[in-house]
Structure 1
């Protein structure tokens, strides 16, 4: 890396060896004509399930689809589903698409997730389940209490683990705590298939339903008899091949991210830089899809990010979520007026650059930039 080359917010990489491996296998499936729901999709599912220690993995064409399929399989039509206000559009949109009603929950400032007490506060007579989002690849240490609360109240838990590939809490994988988990392979994620998503579950019936829904609701791949209101949610073989290759590197890619996070932690937790890192719980092994930090009250986020870029060529990515769901026009009707934790988290955080191939010199440049920013930008 050249001295003045910008530090990018993230970077997805495929080595020359990866590209050759992927190209060879895509050529193979192009020759065979088996372009969807073939052996590479099956292998991708088997390996993903093995890594996350579950019985079933069902590959689909996006993380958004995986959420909707899970919710359709759980029959949420006409029912309430608790959803964090601090999450991506798709978490709540999937509830709506499946015929349910999202009910927003506030956020825990320490993990950007949800507290068990907040679930109790939001339950309605029509509530059937709770969606927990593992933001930035961090699993809240309240998961055991959340699961106990849900069981006591007769609710299921679904995990939106779009950020949390291979993250664990107490040795248990993201996506395996509740009835099902949903993952995304969008290009910015810790691993990618270019596009795609995955459902994981130990529930045999839900896995079978998911396989029906992803293929137009057909009774079987070779029979045009539709038994569910499904859609074209299949993952193609070329996408599965890309995902399978990246999955083979996932452990080492996460190790690279954790190495950079440790460098950031060591400096930021021992100095006054106007930044407070979002620390994973003690038993959580986070994958550091993002490295969120909370800004001091006297720092203007847009000025801060612009200054880092202009003065130090350090480019921060977009926020995890810039606005909570109830601030989006399509979800304004969900505003309960008491979602202050989510509003604070969305308004006051930034994400420092982090990616698997990032080196110590780049991390040091980021830290030098934020050190300078504290003194230069006070009051601006």
Structure 2
């Protein structure tokens, strides 16, 4: 089986982990946490980095730090991971959805303003699968309407928009370090910001809102979202090689595009837009309407040929858990629905070889009519 993802861990990962074990610093108090925070924030051009235990926790802390709560609305893409809407719903607020652009698969920024109401507090943008959201229109809308911007850059390590790093645009921006990301800590996440007060609030929220003088006297409920020194050591070693990893991913994306050139019945990812070049976090495919089967059938057929795949996100308005809550009743987002049913991605991990990519391409040609 060719796995859908396999990380590269052949840099300083073992050396730094050995240092953690040798010194006994394995908890969140260890020095690698602070160093990873500082270096990661500097990499994306932010003043503050706040390491947390995963990307979902980063979103939850960001929403809480902005004091978004009951009666508030947050605009976000219909096509994204459930963590985005979940963070808003858990805060007692309401996610308001925007359909996708069929070419980039990101939220259609032309549809945002029509979703703004007097209850809107923030816009949550999510950079999807290797291309960024068109940020300039979003930032103009946020300024015009006095809204905060939460930027989910979980999939955007090393990605730039008009040569500016993704993760540098939000009032609060978040990252994930899950094993399929360009920088992994196994499980882990990061919040970055330039706002001193928001940074301090995020640090407090991730650490149960302990107080300096009276540690176990709490004025507010926080979370235990801390990152361990072990995770940070792994992340620091990965961060040292981010430029190399982005180069590898772009080469892989170009090779897949060449291998799939001329293949009928499938939409390939855009190589670039006027504002960004794709970093191919994953290599996604969308079946054409003339293909008689859907993504589930395609993935099954590829699985029979020992090719690992992963489905695209399922839209927020079609999530059973949200429907039972009474959210999104009667709403439809046709592009997101089509992406979910006809989209999937093929093996895209950093350890993938050219020979394996050739196998994937041959298998895809076999299953298509």
Query: Normalised by the size of structure 2, how large is the TM-score?
Result: 0.92
2:160 aligned with 1:138: no
2:9 aligned with 1:14: yes
Q: Identify which of 64, 73, 76 aligns with 1:80.
A: 73
How many angstroms does 1:339 deviate by? 1.2
Please say if residues 161 and 276 of structure 2, whose CA atoms lie closer than 8 Å, have aligned partners that are also in contact: yes
Aligned to 2:204: 212
> CA, structure 1 residues 221+319, in 2 after alignment: closer, same or farther (shift >3 Å)?
farther
Please say if residues 13 and 233 of structure 2, whose CA atoms lie closer than 8 Å, have aligned partners that are also in contact: no
Q: Identify which of 324, 349, 354 aligns with 1:360.
A: 354
How many angstroms does 1:116 deviate by? 2.4
Please say if residues 182 and 245 of structure 2, whose CA atoms lie closer than 8 Å, have aligned partners that are also in contact: yes
Q: Identify which of 24, 39, 48 aligns with 2:18.
A: 24
Q: The residue matched to 2:129 in structure 1 has which SS? A: helix
Q: Give the distance between the partners of 2:213 and 2:365, measured in 1 at CA.
A: 58
> CA, structure 1 residues 226+38, in 2 after alignment: closer, same or farther (shift >3 Å)?
farther
> CA, structure 1 residues 220+275, in 2 after alignment: closer, same or farther (shift >3 Å)?
farther
Q: Give the distance between the partners of 2:221 and 2:126, measured in 1 at CA.
A: 26
Q: Identify which of 260, 272, 286 aligns with 2:252.
A: 260
Q: Which moved more, 1:254-263 or 1:104-113?
A: 104-113
Matches within 5 A, 1:142-153: 142-153=134-145
Q: The residue matched to 1:293 in structure 2 has which SS? A: strand
Q: Give the distance between the partners of 1:338 and 1:306, measured in 2 at CA.
A: 27
Aligned to 1:3: none
2:302 aligned with 1:308: yes
Q: Give the distance between the partners of 1:23 and 1:176, measured in 2 at CA.
A: 29
| Deviations 1:75-101 (CA, angstroms, capped at 9, x unpaired) | 111211112111111101111222322
Q: Give the distance between the partners of 1:233 and 1:200, measured in 2 at CA.
A: 15
Query: Normalised by the size of structure 1, how large is the TM-score?
Result: 0.90
> CA, structure 1 residues 366+83, in 2 after alignment: closer, same or farther (shift >3 Å)?
same
Aligned to 2:115: 122
How many angstroms does 1:36 deviate by? 1.5
Q: Give the distance between the partners of 1:130 and 1:85, measured in 2 at CA.
A: 13
Aligned to 1:276: 267
Q: Give the distance between the partners of 1:156 and 1:132, measured in 2 at CA.
A: 11
Q: Give the distance between the partners of 2:29 and 2:103, measured in 1 at CA.
A: 41
Q: Give the distance between the partners of 1:221 and 1:215, measured in 2 at CA.
A: 15
Please say if residues 37 and 234 of structure 1, whose CA atoms lie closer than 8 Å, have aligned partners that are also in contact: no
Q: Give the distance between the partners of 1:68 and 1:263, measured in 2 at CA.
A: 37
How many angstroms does 1:148 deviate by? 0.9
Please say if residues 29 and 237 of structure 1, whose CA atoms lie closer than 8 Å, have aligned partners that are also in contact: no
Q: Identify which of 221, 230, 234 aligns with 2:222.
A: 230
Q: Unaligned stretches of 5+ in structure 1?
A: 1-5
Q: Give the distance between the partners of 2:17 and 2:142, measured in 1 at CA.
A: 46
Q: Give the distance between the partners of 2:73 and 2:56, measured in 1 at CA.
A: 19
Please say if residues 324 and 342 of structure 1, whose CA atoms lie closer than 8 Å, have aligned partners that are also in contact: yes
> CA, structure 1 residues 138+29, in 2 after alignment: closer, same or farther (shift >3 Å)?
farther
Aligned to 2:187: 195
| Deviations 1:128-185 (CA, angstroms, capped at 9, x unpaired) | 1110111113203x21111112211221111111111121111111111121111111
Please say if residues 17 and 234 of structure 2, whose CA atoms lie closer than 8 Å, have aligned partners that are also in contact: no
How many angstroms does 1:371 deviate by? 2.2
Aligned to 2:162: 170
Which consecutive aligned stretches of 4+ in structure 1 deviate over 6 angstroms post-superposition? none
Please say if residues 136 and 320 of structure 1, whose CA atoms lie closer than 8 Å, have aligned partners that are also in contact: no
RMSD, aligned CA:
1.9
Q: Give the distance between the partners of 1:331 and 1:158, measured in 2 at CA.
A: 21
Q: Give the distance between the partners of 2:14 and 2:231, measured in 1 at CA.
A: 15
> CA, structure 1 residues 315+37, in 2 after alignment: closer, same or farther (shift >3 Å)?
same
Q: Give the distance between the partners of 1:40 and 1:221, measured in 2 at CA.
A: 25
Aligned to 2:321: 330
How many angstroms does 1:19 deviate by? 4.9
Q: Unaligned stretches of 5+ in structure 2?
A: none
Please say if residues 83 and 103 of structure 1, whose CA atoms lie closer than 8 Å, have aligned partners that are also in contact: yes
2:151 aligned with 1:156: no
